[in-house]
Structures are given as structure tokens and as C-alpha cells.
Structure 1
Amino acid sequence: MQLPWLAPGAPLPDPALSWGPADPVPGLLAGGGALDVPTLLDAYSHGIFPWFSDDQPILWWSPDPRMTLAPAAFRLHRSLRKVLQSFRADARCEIRIDHDFDAVIRACSAAPRHGQSGTWIVPDMVAAYGALHRAGHAHSVETWIDGELVGGLYCVAIGRAVFGESMFARRTDASKIALAALVSLCRRHGVARIDCQQNTAHLASLGAEEMPRARFVEHVGRARGEPGPTWRFEPVYWSELLPARSSTAL
């Protein structure tokens, strides 16, 4: 099956045309094109995302099935619950949104990946998502301790359609704290699903599950037209995952 090759500015193919299980690379949809803001918004609006290495051209993907996490189904394991309780109670710890997006995506690009020798967050991707951030459609959720950025993640958002991209940690559990904060924010603002793109055992352990691509694309089509979250984290949002603190608590 021949892979469609796109000129910059050309429309992306229907995601239903991506390669299937019998093709060389399942989920691959097209190559070429550009990483400008309009193309990225069009791609995400139809369940498509770019993913390629430094020695490859731009490649566009739309896997079937699609891994997604419903914030309402997030599994807060006991160990992470304890971490979040300590984090919430410590005045030195805070969650910041979009405080230093560029630092977060650079850290994600440098973070080692299990079983991978390089990164897919190549310089062109860093620049592209920086532009998407400045356009208001890419956000960072950041874990700060003692005034230091120690972990975080970045995501794409169009209305209430939220797409997780990558995370990093410089301290134990720092990326998990950022993910829990994103889940709390999404619960508070009625976001039904967070796209996770690929199936991993770690995501499945947190409650993520696969869904047919057609149903995922339908979800995105609805959610992208709904009012999006306010991308600001308030400490009260932790109550979406943790019991509210007593007013008499120290």
C-alpha cells in the first residue's frame, strides 16, 4: 500500500485511510506536509498526530484502536495517593500551568525513553509545539518544588478535546503528580477523555483503555466545539482526587 505524500499546506487524508494491521506500519497515515499551526490544529481536530525521528520526514499517524484515559476512570493507586497528599500539604510544592512551556518540552525531548536510543521530540517538533502554545492550543502542567521545575507534561487542547503528548521527571513521581493535576483539572472542567495515543502497560494501570478510532474521532469532533478548560490550576482541584482537607487541619 503506497503512503500518501503531502505538500506543505495540503489537507491531511481521512484518518480511516491509515495503514491497518496487514500493512507494514499500522496506524501510519501520510508523510510530508508541514508542522505549522493550521496543519497541527487540523490534524488533532481529526484524530491525527505527527510522530517521527530526527532521520525521518514528517510522518502522520492515526492508530486504531486509540488509547485514551477518561479522567473519571483514573486509578489513583495508594502509593500515588500518599505522594499527592504530601505534595498538597507542603507549602514548598505547587502545580503551575504554562509557567515555562519551553522548558517543559525541552526536558521532555531530553528525557530517556525505555527501549529507545533517541527522541521523537526533535527540534522541528519543539519549535512547532512552541508556536502551538503561543497560539493557545498547547499547555504545560508543571511540578515545582522549592522554586525548581522537577517534572511535568505538555498537551494539546482544542475546546474540551485534550491530547496528552509527553512527560518528564527529575524527581521521583514528579511526572505522575503533573498527570494527576491534569486529571484533576479535566474533571473539574468536564473533559471526558485525554488522548494517550499509544497503548502502554503504565497507562493501562492508571485506567486508560483502547477505543475504536471511529468512536475516538467522533468524540474529538464533539469535544473540540465545546468551551475549553481555564488553563489554571487551583489547589482546590486536588479535591477531585483527594478528600477535602478539614478546616481544622494543620
Structure 2
Amino acid sequence: MREIIFDTETTGLDPAKGDRMVEIGCIEMVNRVATGRTFHAYFNPDIPMPAEAEAVHGLSDSFLADKPRFHEKAGELLEFLGEAPLVAHNAGFDFTFLNAELRICGLEPVCGSRMVDTIAIAKVRHPGAKLSLDALCTRYGIDRSHRTRHGALLDAELLAQLYVELNGGRQIGLELAAVQETTIVAAAAAVHRERVFRPARPHAADAEELARHAAFVESLKSPLWTG
């Protein structure tokens, strides 16, 4: 199954108040394995970058000044996304910004039925635990030492690893065990097919054996069953 893991960076928290997307990073996975295909783009939001947002992701007005507008890359982005499920951490936030940008371009928004939220998955697996990307990477031993600031593609790469772990990991050991068990069962079945069944040998006592047994019983002194 093809899935897209993605993350966004923005100028703020609410597109309804004029905030815009300034970066998107996407990782393609097939059967929970990264294929190496990615989509990554920065966008000029045409509005000043608030200092608090720049402190999070480090994307300044000067850095974004020569970057394309979202509508210039929208077609390429949608082609990459295709019809695959879209996986994000706190996915409602990323979907809101993605669909806001698509609407500005006059394009159809992405259907919410395609949304997969890793926070929702983590809540089920680890109720009451911290659910930030950093906290969950620490829980699963995912190296994030190179993450000094938020970045859409870097966070998508970390999330791709986390998504695999939240869904049970690679389970290589279990796969090997399954192969071994299948081999053992097949071998046992082959032995069973080759076995030659013989009729049971007679095991009833003959007259002589019965006579010896009776004589032995008679020789017993005060047996328990007579007391």
C-alpha cells in the first residue's frame, strides 16, 4: 500500500487569520517502507514572517523571498500525493493549511477521509504519555540528534520511522519465526504421510499367566483388600 508521510511549516497557527504555509516535506512509503521518493518545497507567503514562527523553523523573510508561491508548485505536489492516504503528526493542523492553500489556488481540497493522524494512533498505544514528535522518537529510540529546529522534510523523515514503530515495527523476528514454524509444520506433515500404521499386538493374558497370577495372590499374607 502506498502512503505519504508529510509535514508543513507555517507563518502561524490559523490560516483563517491569514497565516500561510511556507514549507512542505513529503516521504513516499510502500508497505511501510520508504521508497526514496520525496517532495520538498519552500513557498514565499507574501506576508512578513512573525518572529515567534521564525524561532521555531528558522525560515526568514529574506530566505523565502525568492521561493515560488504555492500555486506554482501545487500541480507537482498533487501529482506526488496522488490518491494515497496522508500521514501527519497532529494531522488536522497540516490538513487545514494544505487545504487552505489549495482553496486559494481554486483547487479542490484533499478529502479528510485520507487523513491518518499519528497522534491519534499514539494515544491508543500509549494513553497518558507525552505525544510530541520528540517524546515519541525518544520512546522508540529514533535518533533525532540532528534536529535542532523544525523542518518539514526532516520531521517527515522522523515521522516515517515513528509511523512504522507505532504500527508494530518491522517485525523481522516474527517473520523469521513464521517461516520456521511453516517449515516445521510441513516437515511434520511429510513424516505423518510416510508413516506406516500397523495393527496393535495382542496384549491379553493367556491361561498360564492367569494361573500364575492367581497363585501369587493366594500367597499374600493379609492383603489390604481382605481387611
TM-score over 0.5 (shorter chain): no
Write 1 or 2 for the structure with the bigger share of helix. 2
* TM, length-normalised to structure 1: 0.23
* TM, length-normalised to structure 2: 0.24
Write 1 or 2 for the structure with the bigger share of strand. 1
**Greater Rg by CA:** 2
Higher relative contact order (CA 8 A, sep 6+): 1
